[in-house]
Structure 1
Amino acid sequence: MTTAFALDEAQERFCAEVREQAAQRLLPLAHGDDPALGERVNRPLLEEMGRLGLLARLFPDGGRSAAALDLCLLRESLAQVSTEAETALALQGLGFYPVVQSGTEAQRARWLPEVASGRAVAAFALSEPGAGSDAAALALEAKPEDAGSGGGWRLSGEKCWISNAPEADLYTVFARTGPGAGARGVSAFLVPADRPGLSGEPLDMISPHPIGRLVFDGVPVGPEDLLGEVGGGFRVAMRTLDLFRPSVGAFAVGMAQAALDATVAHAGAREAFGGALRELQSVGHRLAEMATRIEAARLLVYAAAAAYDRGAEATGLHGPSGRAAMAKLFATEAAQYVVDSAVQLHGARALQRGHLLERLYREVRAPRIYEGASEVQLSIIARELYR
């Protein structure tokens, strides 16, 4: 019987198959040691994931969203082999899931085959220079058109720190259509990249995947571009993040597991002070701590995903929001500890450009910030305690 705490044989087999596909078919397409290439969308990698059917797993049965536990297993397995492949897949899901959950049949018919095949790149455009963790503070304005224009809007403002920008082919964009403060008055739109008035530029970040800035200079959108209801955009965003937050934890678990595996091998082979490095008690204890934090994080992630998939009605810490916050918080913080410890135990070699741990060290920092920083997750957990 499958529970939140144990995988069945089919799930274990699925994870092994994903790792094998990633090693044989995806890792050779990754950008490797060239940071400049990592600033561009890796379209050959995405298209190969499309051919392997990995992207389609995000949207099974003609456009339904993936089960949260399946998404977590997919992201954890990919992250153990190729963080670039994992991130490319996750960004496709994050960018297109609002269309799956709230879009029209016409929107899905137009874009789902392109996104699932890897031919079109999707992006989730929520953050702004003044609205990062405080997503309700967004200021991108959707100004209504004249009455004779068919009820559309013009988008004016800026988005920042948007993954896959400015190279994506379509953006899920959140803008303020009403005067209400906070979450009120926010609407979501599907905006193709070729709309007039939309421009952008890449940002120079340490994270080895493309991140950029978008500028909206009167970008036209109409009722046919709306995702959900006018004023319902914040719900669209939060429903997307409720699904993806546990899987960010899964990404972190995959990175941490890769770091631990490398360190166990290194400590067993490295000679120091008259014996194998692993024979030093301080090293053995550090490895044990790393392994324990990884397993605790993995169990929290699986429990959060299972709660989401059950559609649990519970509130508080046993509800989907509380569990998702705890899973993302603990897993990302644990991964930071594990990767840092792995670098320490490897020594200077881990800081050489191109080393597995050098890449993981750059990659592991960002998940503690995006999709709700650790401090935001603590606030959610504290709020859920009093429900």
Structure 2
Amino acid sequence: MAGFEHPHSHGMLVPTAHLELPFFDDAHRALANGLAAWTHAQHVDETDDRVACRDWVQRLGAAGWLRYCVPAAHGGALPALDSRALVILRETLAFHSPLADFAFAMQGLGSGAITLAGTPAQQAAYLPAVARGEKIAAFALSEPEAGSDVAGMRLRALPTAGGWQLDGQKTWISNGGLADFYVTFAKTDPDAGARGISAFIVDGDAAGLDSSAHIQVMAPHPLATLTFSACALAQDALVGSVNGGFKLAMQTLDIFRASVAAAALGMARRAFAEAVAHAKGRQMFGQTLADFQLTQARLGEMSALIEAAALLTYRAAWLRDRSPSSGAGTPAYTAAAAAAKLTATENAQKVIDMALQLFGGRGVQVGNVVEHLYRDIRSLRIYEGASEVQLLILGRQALR
């Protein structure tokens, strides 16, 4: 598998005009400009996705970008997790490399529950290391029979004399087999549905945890199935309260939902930039591809799809940041985040498909940027709340 062709190979810079929108302040603009310059200078060989992810985590940590994944009290850059900063980071990284975005996002998602509900000891043991890129984080929620239906999970956590014992499976786990720890959700009361789930920190080298079953997907990312066989955990592995895990998982996903939209947006912006550059340079029938009205109309449509996704994404992040206590978890924010994720991921799929069509045969050639993006974008319509789930959220909100 060829590595991702980076934007510096033809001087392509992340667009920044949208930072003038009133959703952002000067700190966000400075962050975006600094990150755009930094990503432009990175050359990571992504031939092996696992090696590349480890490389990205180390680079992002060393440069200080992972400090936006944790609060200032634990080595973070800002007093609390800031949705707009996460959006800027993910959009900018995804424009440059979807794998860089993935590496960044998982540090935040994998440690989010510890930030929200961890004990001071848990926070001290994990969060500073996450911020420095010294510990790779993972979020273990999905199971073979429990994807969108989280309450259907079967991984069992039984209380023991010394703590807990985990038995069962997780799958589709990002950073599986790579992570230093997994925030793992398990059933502590199997008859209570969503109200019987608890969260635990499981170190990657825990006895009884097998993370060797790697999953190959169309856009290579480190994924694995985790098998827990009499996996013994100490009492202090529990994150938050017993049976409080479902709410914790939802709160964590809530923080990052707008940032998934931003990752899609970054990929769409990159495909658009590639398409514009190609249209200007490609000679056809004695003129450039850009001279054809059909091309202009198609680029116009791509532009409008991106702008619509961008405004919904930034609005959702702004709503959450405006008042973290009243913003997060409110029906208004939940609906805004659902609209953003749905629209940005679906629109990005359309934009990238249109870009590939403009490239013609080159568009499907392995190693071409748009070919890579075409594979990369597809999973975003599924993970962290499939498009169908977002539609249900929005439909129910409308009926209220």
- Partner residue in 1 for 2:244: 232
Matches within 5 A, 1:46-65: 46-63=57-74, 65=80
Rounded Cα–Cα distance in structure 2 between residues aligned with 1:162 and 1:65: 26
Rounded Cα–Cα distance in structure 2 between residues aligned with 1:3 and 1:276: 32
Rounded Cα–Cα distance in structure 1 between residues aligned with 2:350 and 2:387: 14
Rounded Cα–Cα distance in structure 1 between residues aligned with 2:256 and 2:94: 15
1:108 is matched by which residue type in structure 2? Q
Is 1:267 aligned to residue 282 of structure 2?
no
Rounded Cα–Cα distance in structure 2 between residues aligned with 1:68 and 1:18: 16
1:246 is matched by which residue type in structure 2? A
Shift in CA distance, 301/358, structure 1 to aligned 2, threshold 3 Å: same
Encode CA deviations 1:186-208: one digit per residue, 9 max, x unaligned. 00001111111000221111122
Shift in CA distance, 263/331, structure 1 to aligned 2, threshold 3 Å: same
- Partner residue in 2 for 1:172: 183
Encode CA deviations 1:274-318: one digit per residue, 9 max, x unaligned. 311112111111110101110110110111011111237489996
Shift in CA distance, 56/320, structure 1 to aligned 2, threshold 3 Å: same
Identify the match of residue 203 of structure 2 among 192, 195, 198.
192
Is 1:357 aligned to residue 374 of structure 2?
no
- Partner residue in 1 for 2:135: 120
- Partner residue in 1 for 2:36: 19
Rounded Cα–Cα distance in structure 2 between residues aligned with 1:143 and 1:7: 46
- Partner residue in 2 for 1:111: 126
1:62 Cα deviation from its structure 2 partner = 2.1
Is the Cα contact below 8 Å between 2:28 and 2:84 reproduced in 1? no
Matches within 5 A, 1:143-292: 143-145=158-160, 149-150=161-162, 152-200=163-211, 201-292=213-304
Report the secondary structure of 2:397's partner residue.
helix
1:16 Cα deviation from its structure 2 partner = 2.0
TM-score (norm 1): 0.93
Rounded Cα–Cα distance in structure 2 between residues aligned with 1:315 and 1:168: 28
1:4 Cα deviation from its structure 2 partner = 7.0
2:58 is matched by which residue type in structure 1? E
Is the Cα contact below 8 Å between 2:261 and 2:345 reproduced in 1? yes
Rounded Cα–Cα distance in structure 1 between residues aligned with 2:25 and 2:233: 46
Rounded Cα–Cα distance in structure 1 between residues aligned with 2:118 and 2:325: 24
Rounded Cα–Cα distance in structure 2 between residues aligned with 1:320 and 1:160: 29
Rounded Cα–Cα distance in structure 2 between residues aligned with 1:3 and 1:275: 35
2:119 is matched by which residue type in structure 1? T
Structure 1 stretch displaced more, 61-70 or 105-114: 61-70
1:84 is matched by which residue type in structure 2? L
Rounded Cα–Cα distance in structure 1 between residues aligned with 2:312 and 2:100: 24
Is the Cα contact below 8 Å between 2:166 and 2:229 reproduced in 1? yes
Rounded Cα–Cα distance in structure 1 between residues aligned with 2:252 and 2:52: 22
TM-score (norm 2): 0.90
- Partner residue in 2 for 1:129: 144
Aligned-residue CA RMSD (Å): 1.9
Rounded Cα–Cα distance in structure 2 between residues aligned with 1:103 and 1:8: 30
Is the Cα contact below 8 Å between 1:185 and 1:231 reproduced in 2? yes
Is the Cα contact below 8 Å between 1:5 and 1:299 reproduced in 2? no
Rounded Cα–Cα distance in structure 1 between residues aligned with 2:83 and 2:395: 23
Shift in CA distance, 240/3, structure 1 to aligned 2, threshold 3 Å: farther
Is the Cα contact below 8 Å between 1:97 and 1:240 reproduced in 2? yes
- Partner residue in 2 for 1:380: 393
Shift in CA distance, 328/178, structure 1 to aligned 2, threshold 3 Å: same
Gaps of 5+ in 1: none
Is 1:370 aligned to residue 383 of structure 2?
yes
Shift in CA distance, 4/157, structure 1 to aligned 2, threshold 3 Å: farther
Q: Percent identity?
A: 44
Give runs of ≥4 in structure 1 deviating > 4 Å: 2-6, 312-318
1:222 Cα deviation from its structure 2 partner = 3.1
1:67 Cα deviation from its structure 2 partner = 0.6
2:388 is matched by which residue type in structure 1? E
Identify the match of residue 299 of structure 1 among 288, 305, 311.
311
Identify the match of residue 82 of structure 2 among 67, 86, 91.
67
Shift in CA distance, 242/81, structure 1 to aligned 2, threshold 3 Å: same
Is the Cα contact below 8 Å between 1:259 and 1:338 reproduced in 2? yes
Shift in CA distance, 376/124, structure 1 to aligned 2, threshold 3 Å: same
- Partner residue in 2 for 1:7: 24
1:30 Cα deviation from its structure 2 partner = 4.0
1:8 Cα deviation from its structure 2 partner = 4.1
Rounded Cα–Cα distance in structure 1 between residues aligned with 2:192 and 2:374: 39
